[in-house]
């Protein structure tokens, strides 16, 4: 209830006015004032919001609104970067516009959560002696629970936290003549550095026309270079936004409208999810090349050809590859909305776009953004597209190339860059995760009929579906289809044409006949298998502890840690592992007696141990199992949640020990969840890129398939591309079989990804 005051009723409109005025003041005064004066404007915005809050502004309008709270979260991140990067002008005015809203959100959060907890703590002063409390906690832990809890935590601490922390630490390593420990960061954030270039180089523009031989014109779309850091951020934001909008539209049509061929559409829409590193981006490059099919169309229509390059190419490739992630999430959100919620709105007279925007979309939003944030992270860390489009002005490319230039030595500046990337990804991830977590209750239905709302399409709708949606879906599936055509030489590696008569399996023959090539396949399969076994074991330990213990701090922390690898870019893991294994052997050296042998044992794990001693495969396996752990954990965890705790207690009650309960009662029940978790893990591991081509790149005879595919591009031989494409087809096959097993054998929906 909004509180009424003596003056008048304050509403969100007042917030917008406050924001608008603050932003305007800033914008008008900006050319004349210094940062010190500008602070006053910020204070104005905050104080204004505070006064509104005090006079009864209903903060719950922000905290409990699906879209407003989302806006607040995004606003925080936005404002933060505007300040850190010292961006001025309109972007800064926008931040000031958001300021009052954010202030009220913070105040509201405080009032809502912090103050009541403090009050309740005071009210209920029930004193439980510490000894008793400890005893109570210990009582809940059987030896096997201990083992799971400690084992799971230990794995994460040693192989996740420590490496990442080491990387962070290295970000603060500065040259001896520098006093400032933020030196590396300052190099990144200083405006005008190659990382942040607020004014792009003169003459650069998003697109331009070039003359071609023969009097034709070529439209080259490149994107503008704002410096490495900003490029990465802009790219990620653009990719995420476009992918989200696209995903929502496709999902909504497929979820809510019935038309002939819908099932086929659904299947086609998933095709881009087949990961074929590098090759798919390469196909996109051909498709959008000056002699590709798109150019043929524009040439016929407008008289010019088109080429999409550099940053624009990266964005395009990522949008096409990642939008199905949003699509899948949005799709299941749409079909999970309790129909009565929409019916109620219709009943009250809402319809069409209004109904969608006011009821359907807000209800689906948590599910959708859970997919969007993954797109954001994937886009940040993606290496495939930048390498194929030869775009070095992205963070991911920088970290990657820093890895491979000077053998064995990674500069601290790279660690700082990794830190920034981690910060971006992890912050977005945690914010979204809490946003989604807060709202998961929204979907609980209170019984009743559950018929998914579906409409038949009218003629216009059908026309849109077949003339717009179908081409769009087909188009986004082109890279994967192209990979197959390329592998069979139906598309030649350069230029573009369909040459059915020249189809040949020769590149597949090479895959299996050339021992050098075959080795990569064997490596991938072996590593993936071992890593999956490890990951599944750890996932079981963690998922069980998390679902069955309710300890303060420890349980939620472990839960977060088990999902956080989703938010840690692979390149950060690669950097972290680099530092970790560099340091590892030396840690044990000073220990008497066992120190020396341990050092000898662990030395081959050090990345500087030499190209023939370095055992990349061990590190790769560990990295794989940690990086893809969340995918396995999620499935296993879902399994444990299916098992009502009473089923376990009934067994404990009859005298079965905890281990007997776990292995005799629970495991058989959730066997399919574990296996499908393992299979999902296998898919992700076998297509992993970041650590494969960095760590793997340090020892190429132990590298996996993805590394080979990458090196074929860099080598640039025409046949190499096609052998890589053949490998891509093999990867598609692996993924397809795995998915079919999950869907057909375990009868589970292949839930792809989510927070």
Partner 1 sequence: MTRVRLENVTKIYGRVIAVDNVTFEVESGELFTLLGPSGCGKTTTLRIIAGFEVPEHGRVYFDENDVTYLKPYHRNTAMVFQNYALWPHMTVYDNVAYGLRIRKKVLKLTEEDIKKRVREVLELVKLEGLEDRYPLQLSGGQQQRVALARALVVQPSVLLLDEPLSNLDAKLRIEMREEIKRIQKKLGITTIYVTHDQIEAMSISDRIAVMNKGKLLQYGSPREIYFRPRKLFVADFIGRSNIYVGEVTGVEDKYATVYIEELDSHIKGVMVSDEVKSRKKVSVVIRPETVKLVEKSIGKMENLFKGKIDLAMFMGEKIETRVKIANSSMIIYIPNYMVVSPGEEIVFHIPPENTIVIPEITMED
Q: Which long-range contacts (CB under 8 A, 24 or more apart) does 150-159 make?
A: 151/538, 151/541, 152/538, 152/541, 152/542, 152/545, 152/558, 152/562, 153/558, 153/561, 155/538, 155/541, 155/626, 156/538, 156/542, 156/558, 156/561, 156/562, 156/626, 159/580, 159/622, 159/626
Three-point CA angle 372, 388, 295, nearest 5°: 90
> How many angstroms separate the CA atoms of 54 and 468, rounded?
51
Q: For residue 258, list its beta bridge partners.
A: 456
Backbone angles phi, psi at 688, to 5 degrees: -65, 140
Q: Is the dihedral of CA 294, 385, 330, 16 positive or negative?
A: negative
Which segment (221-229, 476-484, 649-657, 706-714) binds partner 1 by CB under 8 A? Answer: 649-657
Indicate whether 647 belongs to the interface with partner 1 (CB under 8 A).
yes
- Cβ closest to partner 1, residue 179 vs residue 644: 644
Indicate whether 608 belongs to the interface with partner 1 (CB under 8 A).
no
Indicate whether 657 belongs to the interface with partner 1 (CB under 8 A).
yes
- Cβ closest to partner 1, residue 454 vs residue 649: 649
Indicate whether 644 belongs to the interface with partner 1 (CB under 8 A).
yes
Binding-site size for partner 1 (CB under 8 A) equals 28
Indicate whether 652 belongs to the interface with partner 1 (CB under 8 A).
yes
Q: Pick from 7, 32, 124, 441: which binds partner 1 (CB under 8 A)?
A: 124
Which segment (133-141, 225-233, 287-295, 343-351) binds partner 1 by CB under 8 A? Answer: 133-141
Indicate whether 646 belongs to the interface with partner 1 (CB under 8 A).
yes
Q: For residue 217, list its beta bridge partners.
A: 211, 304
Measured from the CB of residue 140, what is the shortest distance to partner 1 in angstroms?
8
Indicate whether 135 belongs to the interface with partner 1 (CB under 8 A).
yes
Q: Pick from 660, 663, 701, 733: which binds partner 1 (CB under 8 A)?
A: 660
Indicate whether 130 belongs to the interface with partner 1 (CB under 8 A).
no
Cα dist from 496 to 283, 289, 294, 337, whole Å: 10, 8, 10, 45
- Cβ closest to partner 1, residue 213 vs residue 644: 644
Q: Pick from 343, 514, 649, 701: which binds partner 1 (CB under 8 A)?
A: 649
DSSP class of 466: I
Indicate whether 352 belongs to the interface with partner 1 (CB under 8 A).
no
Measured from the CB of residue 647, what is the shortest distance to partner 1 in angstroms?
5
Q: Pick from 130, 654, 718, 744: which binds partner 1 (CB under 8 A)?
A: 654
Measured from the CB of residue 138, what is the shortest distance to partner 1 in angstroms?
9
Q: Pick from 5, 136, 205, 641: which binds partner 1 (CB under 8 A)?
A: 136
Q: Read off the tokens for 718.
A: 């025409």
- Cβ closest to partner 1, residue 656 vs residue 751: 656
Q: Pick from 126, 444, 460, 718: which binds partner 1 (CB under 8 A)?
A: 126
Measured from the CB of residue 428, what is the shortest distance to partner 1 in angstroms?
30
> How many angstroms separate the CA atoms of 572 and 695, rounded?
12
> How many Cβ atoms sit within 10 Å of the Cβ of residue 476?
21
- Cβ closest to partner 1, residue 120 vs residue 353: 120
> How many angstroms separate the CA atoms of 370 and 325, rounded?
9
Which segment (84-92, 290-298, 510-518, 642-650) binds partner 1 by CB under 8 A? Answer: 642-650
Indicate whether 665 belongs to the interface with partner 1 (CB under 8 A).
yes
Give residues with Cβ within 8 angstroms of 485, minimum separation 6.
491, 498
Indicate whether 38 belongs to the interface with partner 1 (CB under 8 A).
no
Indicate whether 651 belongs to the interface with partner 1 (CB under 8 A).
yes
Indicate whether 353 belongs to the interface with partner 1 (CB under 8 A).
no
Please list, residue by residue across 228-265, b when 16 or more beta carbons sit within 10 angstroms of its beta carbon and e when fewer do: bbbbbbbbbebbbebbbebbbbbbbbbbbbebeebeeb
* 8 Å CB contact between 558 and 545: yes
Q: For residue 307, list its beta bridge partners.
A: 220
Which segment (162-170, 418-426, 507-515, 641-649) binds partner 1 by CB under 8 A? Answer: 641-649
> How many Cβ atoms sit within 10 Å of the Cβ of residue 598?
16
> How many Cβ atoms sit within 10 Å of the Cβ of residue 114?
10
Indicate whether 653 belongs to the interface with partner 1 (CB under 8 A).
yes
Residues at the site binding partner 1, with contacts judged by CB under 8 A: 120, 124, 126, 128, 132-133, 135-136, 139-140, 142, 644, 646-647, 649-658, 660, 665, 668-669
């Amino acid at each position: 209830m909004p509180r009424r005051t003596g003056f008048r009723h304050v509403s969100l409109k007042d917030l917008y006015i406050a924001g608008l005025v603050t932003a305007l003041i800033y914008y008008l005064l900006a050319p004349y004032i210094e940062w010190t004066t500008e602070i006053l404007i910020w204070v104005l915005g905050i104080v204004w919001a505070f006064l509104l809050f005090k006079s009864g502004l209903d903060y719950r309008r922000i905290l409990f609104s699906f879209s407003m709270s989302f806006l607040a979260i995004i606003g925080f991140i936005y404002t933060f970067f505007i300040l850190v990067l010292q961006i001025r002008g309109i972007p800064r005015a926008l931040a000031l516009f958001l300021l009052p809203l954010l202030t009220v959100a913070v105040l509201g959060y405080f009032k809502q959560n912090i103050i009541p907890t403090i009050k309740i703590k005071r009210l209920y002063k029930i004193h439980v002696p510490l000894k008793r409390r400890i005893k109570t906690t210990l009582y809940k832990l059987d030896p096997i629970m201990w083992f799971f809890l400690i084992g799971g935590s230990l794995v994460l601490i040693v192989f996740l936290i420590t490496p990442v922390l080491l990387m962070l630490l290295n970000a603060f390593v500065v040259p001896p003549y520098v006093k400032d420990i933020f030196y590396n960061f300052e190099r990144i954030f200083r405006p005008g550095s190659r990382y942040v270039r607020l004014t792009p180089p003169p003459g650069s523009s998003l697109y331009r026309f070039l003359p071609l031989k023969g009097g034709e014109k070529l439209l080259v779309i490149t994107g503008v270079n704002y410096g490495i850091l900003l490029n990465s951020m802009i790219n990620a934001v653009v990719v995420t936004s476009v992918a989200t909008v696209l995903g929502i539209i496709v999902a909504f049509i497929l979820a809510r409208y019935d038309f002939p061929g819908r099932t086929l559409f659904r299947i086609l829409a998933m095709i881009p999810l087949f990961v074929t590193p590098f090759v798919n981006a390469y196909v996109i490059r051909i498709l959008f090349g000056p002699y590709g099919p798109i150019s043929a169309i524009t040439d016929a229509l407008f008289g010019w050809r088109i080429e999409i390059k550099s940053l624009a190419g990266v964005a395009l490739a990522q949008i096409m590859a990642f939008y199905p992630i949003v699509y899948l999430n949005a799709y299941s959100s749409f079909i999970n909305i309790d129909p009565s919620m929409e019916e109620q709105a219709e009943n009250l007279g809402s319809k069409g776009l209004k109904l969608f925007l006011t009821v359907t979309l807000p209800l689906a939003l948590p599910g959708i953004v859970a997919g969007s944030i993954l797109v954001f992270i994937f886009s940040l860390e993606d290496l495939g597209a930048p390498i194929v489009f030869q775009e070095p002005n992205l963070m991911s490319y920088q970290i990657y190339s820093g890895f491979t230039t000077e053998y064995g030595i990674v500069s601290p500046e790279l660690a700082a860059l990794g830190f920034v990337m981690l910060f971006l990804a992890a912050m977005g991830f945690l914010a979204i995760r809490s946003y989604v977590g807060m709202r998961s209750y929204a979907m609980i239905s209170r019984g009743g009929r559950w018929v998914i709302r579906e409409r038949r399409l009218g003629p216009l709708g059908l026309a849109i579906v077949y003339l717009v949606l179908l081409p769009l879906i087909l188009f986004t599936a082109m890279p994967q289809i192209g990979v197959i055509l390329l592998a069979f030489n139906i598309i030649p590696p350069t230029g573009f044409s369909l040459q059915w008569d020249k189809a040949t399996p020769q590149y597949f023959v090479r895959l299996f006949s050339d021992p050098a090539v075959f080795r990569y396949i064997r490596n991938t399969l072996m590593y993936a298998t071992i890593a999956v076994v490890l990951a599944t074991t750890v996932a079981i330990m963690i998922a069980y502890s998390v679902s069955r213990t309710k300890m303060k701090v420890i349980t939620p922390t472990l839960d977060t840690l088990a999902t956080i690898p989703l938010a840690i870019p692979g390149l950060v893991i690669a950097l972290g592992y680099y530092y970790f294994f560099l340091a590892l052997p030396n840690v044990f050296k000073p220990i008497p007696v066992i120190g020396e042998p341990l050092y000898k044992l662990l030395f081959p794990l050090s990345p500087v141990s030499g190209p023939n001693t370095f055992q990349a495969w061990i590190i790769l396996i560990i990295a794989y199992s940690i990086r893809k752990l969340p995918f396995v954990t999620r499935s296993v965890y879902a399994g444990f949640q299916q098992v009502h705790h009473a089923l376990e207690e009934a067994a404990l009650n009859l005298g079965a020990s905890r281990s007997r309960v776990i292995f005799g009662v629970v495991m058989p029940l959730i066997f399919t969840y574990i296996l499908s978790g393992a299979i999902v893990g296998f898919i992700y591991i076998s297509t992993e890129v970041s650590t494969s081509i960095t760590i793997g790149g340090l020892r190429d005879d132990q590298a996996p398939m993805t590394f080979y595919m990458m090196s074929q591009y860099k080598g640039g031989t025409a046949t190499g591309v096609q052998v890589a494409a053949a490998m891509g087809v093999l990867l598609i096959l692996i993924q397809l079989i795995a998915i079919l097993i999950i869907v057909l054998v375990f009868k589970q929906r292949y839930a792809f990804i989510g927070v």
